[in-house]
Amino acid sequence: MPATPSAFETTPTFADLTTIRIGGPIDEFVRPETRDEVIDTVRRADAQGTRLCIIGGGSNMLVSDAPFHGVVVRDMRDGIRVSRSAPGDSGDVIVEADAGANWDDFVAWTVSEGYEGIEGLSGIPGSVGASVVQNIGAYGQEVASSVLSVTAWDRQAGAIVEIGHDNLAFGYRFSALKATMYETPEVQGTGEGRRETRWFPSPRYVVLAVTYRFRRSRQGTVGMGQLAKALGVEKGTRMDLTDIRAAVLSIRATKDMLEDPTRYANPWMAGTKREIPEAGEPNHNRWSCGSFFINPVVTAEHARRYLDGAPQYPGVLPDGTPGVKTSAAWLIDHAGFHKGFRLPGVAADSADGAEPSSAGLSTVHTLALTNRGGATFDDVWRLASCIRRGVDDAYHIDLVPEPVVIR
């Protein structure tokens, strides 16, 4: 039996908890197993004015190596409940999942049960709660398409609230939940007790559970050209859910955009995933935050002037008007940052013959910034900043980081 963390260490570091394996020590780490424990922990941290970080799978975050003076909460609840069939003769089913459930475990469960809706989101690291904050998407699907509502703890009101789909303001890698992360709470108290900090690095609304509407079907729709090509069919073809999931996992594996299963040898990860892939040697291409930059959406005029030859798809601008979405990976590569690119190490006297930085682009995918072993926050951030400057110089686009960055 593996040793429990308490047997040798009081608290983990963020490097123990994140997929990029970077981050400093944590003052307090709490793993609540009931809804009441989740709420009590959040209330206590807020009452004390302590920084609060709700962590899911640790896949979409880049954290400083400095100590985190606050409370980190990892919800250990992973229940799934089929509450009822949807009204009418639609054949749909209503499912509620606890926020702490591992996302890919949940996807695998829906496929095994014959529930269509999120099979294209297979292999994405993280948790059910984090998935709706980010509105994850891949291979022609977004989680928003299946979400009916979110049950959350409102840190401002001190109450459990139900937020319906229409009030979640889902957009491309965006939700109303995510927006509240950067809002400033109403001022509470006076003098030394006065609090004016943002809710960051967690939203005002702490997700407790998510309710979905799925279609009862053993088949799903192949919704993206790349996926269709892998399956040898036309886009829009109906296929068995298990075949779609297998193809998605295979594509993600070829790009090393799956999490490295060796992370589960770390006792701090115990109990967070039910289905753990067989682990071989560590794969540093997978020591990443996933996609580091959001695919930008620009005006049609900007695309015409600067994006000749770049992939272009219909998109929506922040103001809700039509725009052009392009590929961040293409921009990075064509700005001169190719697969495996690494900067010289910061301690080098010159770039000529210097040891490379421990942070670098994946050797198979330019959208993943990776920890090649021993990388620090500054190593990754220096690489990200260099890439952003290069893309801005070449295409007049400021790439926006996708991970939550905690300094």
Q: Which residues are catalytic?
A: 173, 291, 402
Gap between the Cα atoms of 345 and 58, Å rounded? 26
According to DSSP, the residues that pair with 209 across neighbouring strands are 98, 151
Helix extents (H) in 182-240:
225-231
Which two structure tokens, joined as six digits, stand for 243? Answer: 């075949």
In degrees, rounded to 5, the angle at the alpha carbon of residue 116 between the alpha carbons of residues 133 and 317 is 40
Q: Could you tell me what percentage of the chain is helix, strand and coil, using 3-state DSSP and rounding each to the nearest 5?
A: 30, 25, 45
Phi and psi torsions of 167, nearest 5°: -95, 0
Distance CA 285, CA 255 (A): 9
ω into residue 201 within 30 of 0, thus cis? yes
CB 367 within 8 A of CB 341: no
Sheet holding 342-344, edge to edge: 342-344, 356-361, 369-371
Side chain identity, residue 74: R
Give the burial class of 313: count Cβ atoms within 10 A of its Cβ; 0-12 exposed, 13-18 middle, 19 or more buried: exposed
